[in-house]
Structure 1
Amino acid sequence: MGWISPRTLNRLGMLNMNRRNVDYIARYNERSSYPLVDNKLKTKLAVAEYGVKTPRLLQVVRQQHEISGFREMAEDLGGFAIKPAKGSGGKGITVITGRDGDDYIKASGSRLAAGDLERHLTNILAGLYSLAGTPDVAIVESLVESEPTLARFSFQGVPDIRIVVFRGYPVMAMLRLATKASDGKANLHQGAVGVGLDIGTGRSLNAVQFNRPIVLHPDTGHALENIDIDAWDEMLEMAARCYEATGLGYMGVDLVVDAKEGPLLLELNARPGLAIQMANGRGLLPRLRTIERLKRPHFTPRDRANYAMEVFAAL
């Protein structure tokens, strides 16, 4: 499907922010569930009980005195990721992809000493990156090594897949590819590329950067029209399982495909953005209303994923 203007998208059922906040987030998301998805550590523990895999947890740093154990833990690691448990929008995440002597190497090639990482952990504990500036916890996870056929489309950063899940049904998906402009992060507001994905097959539909249509990745030069996501049905079922794990009726599920582990959950978002519609060239409203009209909801994540693949497949 080719590029469609925002005006046309509105006629096709583009969900705007006010309607998202009132009709979907406020109506379908219990406030009591927010702490679960706003804290990456709590998310990991909750989804594990429902068979949803996440990157391996290497260390949890809760107190300043525990930082001294980080250097010893990381001594033999080639790569890892440090994340604030309550961070948002990718803030405070530091990804180490290699070592050179005593230095740690980031994906961009820049170098950090162990002391730099320890200061970063101190900043996380102080709440520098948390949603409300409150004291936080740092988690250290195993490095995600992107599946090679997907990795070649992204610039430095690991590509991820955002799936919007409504009442347990995957309703829309996109692939997010890092760029130079986004500083290696899969953040569309910072300039990452969004590639709409056919819910039925996992194949690319069209792509945007800064809400403008593109056909080639601006940095890698790869064409974005024939991307095919492996293990697509497995990823949709994982996303659907997050409904049981959290009880959230409307959320964004962010997944990656690891070269060794396969699909992994990165994080959940109780307030997913709306740029996914631009990437797909389709509005969310018709799909949300289709789910709302269901008289007999499907009870298993597999059944809900199958229904979505059948009903929301690109025409």
Structure 2
Amino acid sequence: MPAWLPRFVRPKLLKEQGIVGMNARNARYIAAWNARRFYPRVDDKLQTKQLALDAGLSVPDLYGVVRTHRQIRDVRRQLREYEDGFVIKPAHGAAGDGILVIEGWRGDRPRRAGGRAMELSELDDHISNVLSGMYSLGGRPDVAMIEQRVRFSSVFDAVAHRGVPDIRTVVYRGYPVMAMMRLPTQDSDGKANLHQGAVGTGIDLGSGRTIGGVRYNNPCREHPDSEQSIVGLQIPGWDELMELAAGCFELSQLGYLGVDVVIDADRGPLILELNARPGLAIQIANGEGLDHRILAVDAHMVARDIEPAAERARWSAEVFARPEATHPTEPDTETTRAAEPA
């Protein structure tokens, strides 16, 4: 239960706070604004990447695609060229399953994130499992994508455990309405996945600063592994990230959308993937409900033509800015712990 709400809550209070539940999300936003014919644009990561490239939006480089088991040995020889590592992921995967991050090579063996060297046969087996549909939605046969390994900005060194943090932005009718950064932990095995134990930190849309966090649906203000504060971190390239997220509306044609972006140390914000059914824990991370912001977008859109992505991003940054995030203070650890549910 969010710390700003009592443990037992009347539905009226939830409505007053603008809290969106799963049923409301499914009926009022996903069903109303996401035509199913456009789902393949986000459920197929390979199609998402091609659409983003066609639209001139920044994404990690695509090194190759494995479609058949016969291609595995040939692709393995090609991978040796990427001394800085690479990422293998299923095109139709979900929740981070099946993603294999290779940081480099130890002799002739690929080295995983965390330092463990793999046998080449293990690499072959992983790609084979992807093709067989082990990680895909519905267990259908899949293709394996081989991508650039992102080198995240050093600003996240103290709050990311052996993995790459990403930023999830909920975009409604083309306008960013809420964002959070997902920080890998030891529990999540270096993956930025909240269901596996990653930390979600709310972000002020006006400044790009983090404002608090959530882990296993409970509020938190420190990273569990480093005990470093997760409040007041400045996201690099924030204005560019907001415009990138807004631009995914035209790409996907979905009115309610989750945009996942990573910050590369050299290239800046890059689109990682899109989600037609973004979760609701982002409300806990931000200490605020989605509904009031969504209604503000609806009011803004009355008798108004679609604005360019840059204008939509600018409007969201101005309207949804939180003044207290401009000059963050260090969290009072004892007060924070007292406010958290048992």
TM bucket (normalised to shorter chain) is over 0.9
Q: Per-residue displacement from partner, 1:24-50 (whole Å, max 9, x unpaired)?
A: 001100101101100110000001122
Contact 1:9 1:282 in 2 (8 A): no
Which residue of structure 2 lines up, in the alignment, with residue 4 of structure 1? 4
Q: Structure 1's 12 and 297: CA in aligned 2 closer, same or farther, altered over 3 A?
A: farther
Which residue of structure 1 lines up, in the alignment, with residue 285 of structure 2? 279
Structure whose CA Rg is larger: 2
* RMSD, aligned α-carbons: 1.4
Letter in 1 for 2:167: I
- SS of 1:132's equivalent? helix
Which residue of structure 2 lines up, in the alignment, with residue 182 of structure 1? 188
Report runs of 4+ in structure 1 exceeding 3 Å deviation.
6-11
Which residue of structure 2 lines up, in the alignment, with residue 83 of structure 1? 89
Which residue of structure 2 lines up, in the alignment, with residue 213 of structure 1? 219
Which residue of structure 2 lines up, in the alignment, with residue 305 of structure 1? 313
With the length of structure 2 as denominator, give the TM-score of the two structures: 0.89
* Percent of matched pairs sharing the same residue: 47
- SS of 1:184's equivalent? coil
Worse-superposed segment, 3-12 or 164-173: 3-12
Which of residues 163, 166, 174 in structure 1 aligns to 2:169?
163
- Measured in 1, the distance between the counterparts of 2:298 and 2:232 equals 32
Find out whether 1:47 has 2:52 as its counterpart.
yes
Q: Per-residue displacement from partner, 1:55-85 (whole Å, max 9, x unpaired)?
A: 1000100111111211211112221000000
Which of residues 138, 144, 147 in structure 2 aligns to 1:141?
147
Letter in 1 for 2:268: G
Q: Per-residue displacement from partner, 1:198-248 (whole Å, max 9, x unpaired)?
A: 011101111121122222111122111120111111000000111011101
Letter in 2 for 1:16: G
Which residue of structure 2 lines up, in the alignment, with residue 223 of structure 1? 229
Which residue of structure 2 lines up, in the alignment, with residue 254 of structure 1? 260
- Measured in 2, the distance between the counterparts of 1:81 and 1:173 equals 25
Worse-superposed segment, 139-148 or 102-111: 102-111
Contact 1:160 1:175 in 2 (8 A): yes
- Measured in 1, the distance between the counterparts of 2:26 and 2:36 equals 13
Q: Per-residue displacement from partner, 1:150-209 (whole Å, max 9, x unpaired)?
A: 233111110000000000000000010000111111111111111000011101111121
Contact 2:204 2:210 in 1 (8 A): yes
Contact 2:259 2:275 in 1 (8 A): yes
Contact 2:236 2:268 in 1 (8 A): no
- Measured in 2, the distance between the counterparts of 1:132 and 1:93 equals 17
With the length of structure 1 as denominator, give the TM-score of the two structures: 0.96
Contact 1:95 1:107 in 2 (8 A): yes
- SS of 2:206's equivalent? coil
- Measured in 1, the distance between the counterparts of 2:106 and 2:316 equals 47
Letter in 1 for 2:5: S
Displacement after TM superposition at 1:297 (Å): 4.6
Which residue of structure 1 lines up, in the alignment, with residue 322 of structure 2? 314
Which of residues 275, 280, 291 in structure 1 aligns to 2:297?
291
Which of residues 63, 72, 75 in structure 2 aligns to 1:67?
72
Find out whether 1:13 has 2:21 as its counterpart.
no
- Measured in 1, the distance between the counterparts of 2:309 and 2:293 equals 17
- Measured in 2, the distance between the counterparts of 1:152 and 1:40 equals 30
- Measured in 2, the distance between the counterparts of 1:297 and 1:147 equals 37
Which residue of structure 1 lines up, in the alignment, with residue 38 of structure 2? 33
